[in-house]
């Protein structure tokens, strides 16, 4: 089965590719010659995932899935949420995003947060939604060199290390995206 993953993020693409069974051929937007910047204008993660999946399916005719992920910090009323990738403004910059978040949390005792991923799958003219949540807290300083995005400052619940200190295999077992992708994979296996 061929499936397009509607992302330009090569880190995400590599992370997801490692998780999928060999029976699924994962295509990137580059593989289908889609270099468009698909605007994410929805006010929810689910809505943004639907926009991206629908764009690829409607314009290129492929079965496709797309995701949107947000970091939701409880003491910031769920921010940065849907704006996580561009929290510090355009263009998206992980370092600036982390610095802005750490500065907003300076002096706050409640550092509880969760990563949430929503996936929209367009398959054979039907649409399916999957989600995954990983709870934890925001650290006061960056820890680790692996991963991407907010990984160096997010420590999952019941762990003593940040996402950036984990191998991709360790992270994928417990991460928001890993959990959402597992639901997607289980669904796709039922079709075979």
Q: What is the structure's pLDDT at 100?
A: 97
Q: What is the structure's pLDDT at 192?
A: 61
Q: What is the structure's pLDDT at 18?
A: 82
The pairing of strands 2-5 and 112-123 is unpaired
Q: Which residue has the tokens 């069974």?
A: 21
Q: Are 127 and 53 in contact (CB under 8 A)?
A: yes
The pairing of strands 112-123 and 80-81 is unpaired
Q: Which residue has the tokens 């690829």?
A: 56
How far apart, in Å, do the first and last CA atoms of the chain sit? Answer: 10
Active site residue 37: no
- CA torsion sign, 159 to 162 to 167 to 170? positive
Write the secondary structure of the chain as one string of H (helix), E (strand) and C (coil): CEEEECCCCHHHHHHHHHHCCCCCEEECCHHHCCCCCCCCCCCCHHHHHHHHHHHHHHHHCCCEEEEEEEEEEHHHCCCEECCHHHCCCCCCCHHHHHHHHHHHHCCCCCCEEEEEEEEEEEECCEEEEEEEEEEEEECCCCCCCCCCCCHHHEEECCCCCCHHHCCHHHHHHHCHHHHHHHHHHHHHHHHC
Q: What is the structure's pLDDT at 51?
A: 97
The structure tokens listed for 71 are: 């970091």
The dihedral region occupied by 106, where left means phi > 0, alpha psi between -120 and 50, and beta the remainder, is: beta
Provide the β-strand partners of residue 80.
Answer: 72
Residue ranges of the chain whose pLDDT lies below 70: 192
Domain 2-191 has CATH 3.90.950.10: yes
Name the residue ranges covered by the structural domains of the chain: 2-191
Q: What is the structure's pLDDT at 169?
A: 85
**What pLDDT, in 10s, does the model give residues 153-172?**
999 999 999 999 999 889 98
Catalytic position from the list 31, 37, 68, 151? 68
**What pLDDT, in 10s, does the model give residues 104-124?**
999 999 999 999 999 999 999
């Amino acid at each position: 089965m061929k499936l397009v993953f509607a992302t330009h993020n090569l880190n995400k693409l590599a992370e997801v590719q490692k998780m999928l069974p060999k029976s699924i051929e994962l295509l990137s937007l580059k593989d289908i010659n889609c270099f468009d910047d698909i605007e994410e204008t929805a006010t929810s993660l689910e809505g943004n995932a639907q926009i991206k999946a629908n764009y690829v399916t409607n314009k290129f005719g492929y079965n496709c899935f797309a995701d949107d992920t947000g970091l939701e910090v409880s003491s910031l009323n769920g921010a940065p949420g849907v704006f996580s990738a561009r929290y510090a403004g355009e263009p998206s910059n992980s370092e600036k995003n982390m610095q802005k978040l750490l500065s907003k949390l300076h002096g706050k005792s409640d550092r509880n947060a969760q990563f949430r991923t929503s996936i929209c799958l367009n398959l054979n003219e039907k649409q399916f939604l999957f989600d995954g949540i990983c709870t934890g807290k925001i650290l006061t300083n960056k820890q680790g060199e692996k991963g991407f995005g907010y990984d160096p400052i997010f420590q999952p619940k019941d762990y003593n290390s940040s996402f950036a200190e984990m191998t991709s295999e360790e992270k994928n077992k417990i991460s928001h995206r890993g959990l959402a992708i597992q639901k997607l994979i289980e669904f796709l296996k039922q079709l075979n």
